[in-house]
Amino acid sequence: MTSLATLLQYIPYMLEGLIWTFTLVSGGLLLGFTIGLPLALAEVYGGEYTRTLVKCYIWFFRGVPLLVLLFLFYWGVFPSLGLKLAPLSTSIIVLGLRSGAYQSEIFRSAIQAIGEGQILAAEALGMNRLQAILYIVIPQILRIAIPAWSNEYAIILKDSAICFTLGVAEILTRARYVVITTGVALIPYLIAGVSLMILTYFGVKVLDRIYSRVKIPGLGVSLP
């Protein structure tokens, strides 16, 4: 059995994995945002054909487990397209595609929460659709959506650990390495788990703080 001292040596190595966790999370959230916001706008303001397409996208990426999506893209889709993507890139893309589906629902609720009167008032002033969306709708929904978005952050953070199945060198993968090397299982995994819990907790707190700073008095939306 390995001693506690030896175990402690591995902690920096494990915590370094959090950098990759962070990469996965921010990459996934960012990609999800760039997909989700346009999708939400398309679903609310687009025609029937567009809406159906968006609904299919959402249905697929919300309904299929992350694990299946990871393997589907890594072993199936990307090779079929002739792409040789590393586990990290694949994970970020898959997390992003999935988050895009969830974020589009978040922004859609936010758009519906502010009401269509906003667009009407903007157009009455002479703005065209695009200007109305850019200057009136988006600034509002970005603020309203923060609470639901912080929930999405928590989910992606916890799901980032699943990417260990593709071998991404984030904290869970490293914990596993420590386990195999030292033969001690409980402590490394506990450390990984607790680290992720702490990151989740503080991240949500930060987002709550931001929300209370920027929120619009009297306007809010509940989690979808």
Exactly one of 13, 59, 135, 202 binds another protein (CB under 8 A); that residue is: 59
Exactly one of 22, 45, 177, 189 binds another protein (CB under 8 A); that residue is: 189
Binding piece for another protein, criterion CB under 8 A, among 8-16, 89-97, 141-149, 191-199 = 191-199
Q: Residue 183, by phi and psi: left (phi above 0), alpha (psi -120 to 50) or beta?
A: left
Q: Angle, nearest 10°, between helix axes 48-63 and 11-45?
A: 160
- Tell me if 68 contacts another protein by CB under 8 A: yes
Based on its alpha-carbon atoms, the radius of gyration of the chain, rounded to whole angstroms, reads 21
Helices (H), the chain: 4-9, 11-45, 48-63, 66-71, 78-80, 87-114, 117-124, 129-131, 138-144, 146-159, 171-182, 186-214
Residue 19 or 124: the one with the smaller Cβ distance to another protein is 19
Exactly one of 19, 30, 56, 64 binds another protein (CB under 8 A); that residue is: 64
Least Cβ distance, residue 193 to another protein (angstroms): 4
Count, residues near another protein per rule CB under 8 A: 37
Most distant pair of Cα atoms in the chain: their distance: 75
Exactly one of 13, 16, 26, 75 binds another protein (CB under 8 A); that residue is: 75
Cβ contacts of residue 116 below 8 Å, gap of 6+?
none
- Tell me if 196 contacts another protein by CB under 8 A: yes
DSSP state at residue 125: T
| Number of residues written out for the chain | 224
Exactly one of 16, 30, 56, 60 binds another protein (CB under 8 A); that residue is: 60
Give me the phi and psi of 127, to 5 degrees please: -75, 150
d(CA 8, CA 71): 34
d(CA 98, CA 150): 16
Least Cβ distance, residue 145 to another protein (angstroms): 19
Exactly one of 30, 86, 129, 201 binds another protein (CB under 8 A); that residue is: 201
**Residues 147-186: x/- map of binding to another protein (CB under 8 A)?**
----------xxx-xx-xx------x------x----xxx
Task: Enumerate binding residues for another protein (CB under 8 A).
Answer: 59-60, 63-69, 71-72, 75-77, 79-80, 157-159, 161-162, 164-165, 172, 179, 184-187, 189-190, 192-193, 196-197, 200-201
